[in-house]
């Protein structure tokens, strides 16, 4: 702390406007671009560069791009040539010292304002690069936001986009920030999206953190009718991310809560699917199979467990095999209930013997409402 105290004294020797710009930069992080700093400073890139110049000459920040001279020496009129120039603090202690210049009572508010400014001003084409950074800033000041409630259209933003986040996603996200006031419920929605994005990138612990934050923001109102979809999606994100992060105990606790709250059979089935995966990961084969049978019953896709029922089913299997029908050429499955049932049966491949799997599978294949494409079966569909 002596080093930080010494650096604070050195920073205080700089002009007041340079001290202020360093404090803002410290909120952004150890590294920052002049464009992001100018957005947070709410001034032009050139004006922000001039205020940063003294800190640069004194060695408190260092350039990460040789083009910085264009901004500070040539004084260009075209900001586009220098907007992506990046800098970093010369040492972590320098950043800590600059950050300590902000009163403790003001830090959360500063982060919240930074998040709002970035969300509103960064072009939607660039939002992907700063998405986690923005949500993290907004989360600092979540308590000060008004409650508010996302409408039906906004809650639909939480649905998985299996092709990744496209520009329409970000335009819709940005529209939330253009409202007169960002609300806690909007922020919970953004945390759900951040969790999904982090999970897609393989950062499972980070995905859990964002999902937990979203659940915490919803507080006692979680699972109420007006935010039911958002509540369900946050729990699915949390459970799936915990599963991938191998935190099975916590995932099971979330599963228990969700099963008490979800309403529709397909939602119950989606939660049971993750329960089955968790049980399999713990080597609880019998429990996984029983959960699968229960889930199929909920989905009205009951599996015969009596000897007579299994014999009758095997006769149907023989008919399919002897008919020479190739499942590969059947229409792609579109019924969401049957798709989920198929995913559940697929999850049970490893813990059950092949004989029982074929019984399960063909009990679905013979359903008049069910058809399957072998290529579709290879997809890892998540709920």
Q: What is the 3-state secondary structure (H, E, C) of 107-165?
A: HHHHHHHHHHHHHHHCCCCCHHHHHHHHHHHHHHCHHHCCCCCCCHHHHHHHCCCCCCC
273 in a structural domain: no
293 in a structural domain: no
Which of the pair, 170 or 136, is modelled with greater confidence? 136
pLDDT, tens digit, for every residue of 20-37?
Answer: 999 999 999 999 988 889
382 in a structural domain: no
Residue span of the structural domain in which 317 resides: 307-377
pLDDT, tens digit, for every residue of 148-157?
Answer: 665 555 555 5
Residue 62 β-bridge partners: 88
Q: Tokens 């491949």 sit at which residue?
A: 349
275 in a structural domain: no
Beta strands in the chain (DSSP E): 31-33, 61-63, 86-89
- Both 124 and 240 in one domain: the answer is yes
Which DSSP letter does residue 70 get? Answer: I
Of the three residues 102, 119, 140, the one that is the final residue of a domain is 102
pLDDT of 143 > 60? The answer is yes
175 in a structural domain: yes
Note if the pTM is more than 0.75.
yes
> Which pLDDT value is given to residue 46?
82
- Both 153 and 255 in one domain: the answer is yes
- Both 204 and 93 in one domain: the answer is no
pLDDT, tens digit, for every residue of 205-234?
Answer: 999 999 999 999 988 888 888 788 889 999
pLDDT of 17 > 70? The answer is yes
- Both 311 and 363 in one domain: the answer is yes
- Both 224 and 336 in one domain: the answer is no
- Both 329 and 229 in one domain: the answer is no
Give how many domains the chain has, as a whole number. 3
- Both 188 and 222 in one domain: the answer is yes
- Cα separation, 247 vs 68, in Å, equals 46
CATH assignment of the domain containing 22 = 1.10.10
Question: How large is the average pLDDT for residues 168-195?
Answer: 71
Of the three residues 80, 102, 124, the one that is the final residue of a domain is 102
pLDDT of 274 > 90? The answer is yes
6 in a structural domain: yes
Question: How large is the average pLDDT for residues 316-331?
Answer: 67
- Both 224 and 355 in one domain: the answer is no
- Cα separation, 301 vs 48, in Å, equals 64
Question: How large is the average pLDDT for residues 68-78?
Answer: 59
- Both 145 and 88 in one domain: the answer is no
Of the three residues 47, 72, 102, the one that is the final residue of a domain is 102
38 in a structural domain: yes
């Amino acid at each position: 702390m002596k080093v930080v105290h010494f650096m604070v004294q050195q920073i205080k020797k700089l002009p007041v406007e340079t001290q202020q710009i360093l404090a803002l930069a410290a909120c952004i992080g150890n590294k920052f671009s002049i464009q992001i700093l100018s957005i947070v400073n709410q001034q032009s890139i050139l004006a922000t560069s001039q205020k940063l110049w003294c800190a640069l000459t004194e060695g408190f920040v260092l350039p990460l791009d040789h083009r910085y001279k264009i901004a500070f020496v040539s004084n260009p009129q075209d900001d586009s040539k220098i907007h992506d120039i990046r800098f970093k603090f010369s040492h972590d202690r320098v950043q800590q010292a600059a950050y300590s210049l902000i009163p403790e009572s003001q830090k959360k508010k500063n982060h919240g304002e930074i998040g709002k400014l970035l969300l509103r001003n960064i072009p939607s084409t660039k939002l992907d690069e700063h998405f986690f950074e923005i949500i993290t800033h907004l989360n600092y000041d979540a308590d000060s936001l008004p409650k508010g409630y996302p409408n039906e259209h906004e809650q639909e933003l939480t649905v998985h986009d299996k092709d990744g986040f496209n520009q329409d996603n970000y335009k819709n996200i940005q529209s939330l920030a253009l409202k007169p006031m960002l609300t806690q419920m909007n922020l919970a929605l953004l945390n759900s999206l951040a969790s999904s994005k982090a999970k897609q990138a393989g950062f499972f612990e980070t995905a859990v953190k964002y999902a937990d934050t979203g659940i915490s923001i919803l507080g006692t109102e979680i699972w109420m009718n007006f935010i039911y979809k958002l509540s369900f999606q946050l729990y699915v994100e949390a459970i799936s991310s915990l599963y991938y992060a191998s935190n099975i105990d916590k995932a099971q606790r979330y599963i228990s809560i969700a099963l008490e709250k979800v309403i529709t059979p397909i939602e119950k089935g989606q939660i049971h699917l993750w329960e089955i995966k968790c049980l399999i990961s713990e080597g609880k084969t019998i429990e996984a199979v029983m959960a699968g049978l229960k889930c199929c019953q909920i989905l009205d896709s009951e599996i015969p467990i009596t000897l007579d029922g299994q014999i009758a089913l095997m006769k149907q299997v023989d008919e399919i095999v002897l008919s020479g029908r190739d499942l590969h050429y059947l229409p792609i499955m579109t019924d969401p209930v049957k798709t989920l049932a198929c995913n559940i049966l697929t999850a049970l491949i490893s813990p059950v013997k092949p004989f029982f799997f074929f019984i399960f599978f063909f009990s679905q294949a013979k359903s008049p409402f069910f058809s399957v494409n072998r290529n579709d079966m290879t997809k890892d569909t998540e709920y």
